[in-house]
Chain A
């Protein structure tokens, strides 16, 4: 970690960008290679999801048929009334809550509060698993109603392909996130991050940066959902 700190005060602002990027040296000061690589991965993932959403936009704009009314398609029948988008709203709140618990796990990680960090990460994983569960319920409901990638009873045929592709990829990201959350949380709970020695997740005792890197991924999954919620469900 010592090599990611700043050896001396460096200029800020645009002068700082030039100073950091020039002179044949590390471009990203104060950022370890693990964190820089996670950011670069997330940047590439940004393009993947951007292209999915652009493909969805193109399909929706170019079809002469009416696009299914998502407000009605995703409505839940509760207590004799159809509540529009209810399940999606609950999923949104669950994912935002998981982002909140993850942010606090990162904070407690840097405070080296072992149990609080692991506990909050387990809670994050549980909320993430709940999200995937609700998504599975939603998929089941839609498939029973006859939605297929090539056709559906509500309107334009491209709806099914866009829906399964975009939410499927996002759900896969959440699932892998849950898996890695459980792996890292378990290692922290066992105290592996407080032991000396280098592993693939830490460079020495008390190096909790892996929690922040995990957090970056998790917040990104939440971020993607913000865009899916706006463009696919609300638009």
Chain B
């Protein structure tokens, strides 16, 4: 990639992360609304798949807003973004393993202690 370095003269030093205040207020407001929604899920007493789906959707949206805007990941170079966001994906594999393991423990307890 040495050829790209000679494409143009050195650019000016970039000065930190400067973004309009309105963007922060927008994200702040969205986080409030999303939190209110997830609280409403519990307040309304929703059950089953709908409850879990809504909780997960609101959680992922909130996490995404915080990481992308408040932590400025949206403006970082991909080399850093992928170094941060890819490793936690491995946790999903661990999650799968522990679901199987927990099911096994549950069944073992049922057969050993005769249930609740």
Asked if chains A and B come from one complex, the reply is yes
CB atoms of A226 and B63 under 8 A apart: yes
Number of interface residues of A (CB under 8 A): 76
Can you list 21 residue pairs at the A/B interface with Cβ under 8 Å? A5-B14, A8-B11, A17-B79, A19-B4, A21-B79, A28-B80, A31-B77, A47-B88, A58-B101, A64-B110, A96-B28, A96-B35, A99-B70, A100-B28, A102-B70, A103-B27, A212-B17, A215-B70, A226-B59, A226-B66, A235-B52
B: residues with CB less than 8 A from A are 1-2, 4-11, 13-19, 21, 24-25, 27-28, 31-32, 35, 38-39, 41-43, 52, 55-56, 58-59, 62-63, 66-67, 69-72, 76-80, 82-84, 87-88, 91, 94-95, 98-99, 101-103, 105-106, 109-110, 113, 115-116
Q: Tell me, yes or no, whether A209 is within 8 Å of chain B by CB.
A: yes
Known: A8-B5, A16-B77, A64-B113. A47 touches B14 (CB 8 A): no
Q: Which residue of B lies closest to A86 (CB)?
A: B39
A97 to B, closest residue via Cβ: B28
Q: A8-B4, A54-B95 are in contact. Are A99 and B79 (CB under 8 A)?
A: no
Q: List residues of chain B with CB within 8 A of the CB of A8.
A: 4-11
Cβ < 8 Å to B, chain A residues 34-55: 36, 39, 42-43, 46-47, 50-51, 54
Could you list which residues of chain A lie within 8 angstroms of chain B, going by C-beta atoms?
1-2, 5-14, 16-23, 27-31, 36, 39, 42-43, 46-47, 50-51, 54, 57-58, 61-66, 71, 84-85, 89, 92-93, 96-97, 99-100, 102-104, 106-107, 109-111, 208-209, 212, 215-216, 219-220, 222-223, 226-227, 229-230, 233-235
- Of chain A, the residue at the smallest CB distance from B106 is A62
Q: How far is the CA of A111 from the CA of B24 in the complex (A)?
A: 15
Q: Provide the residues of chain B in CB contact with A14, threshold 8 Å.
A: 78
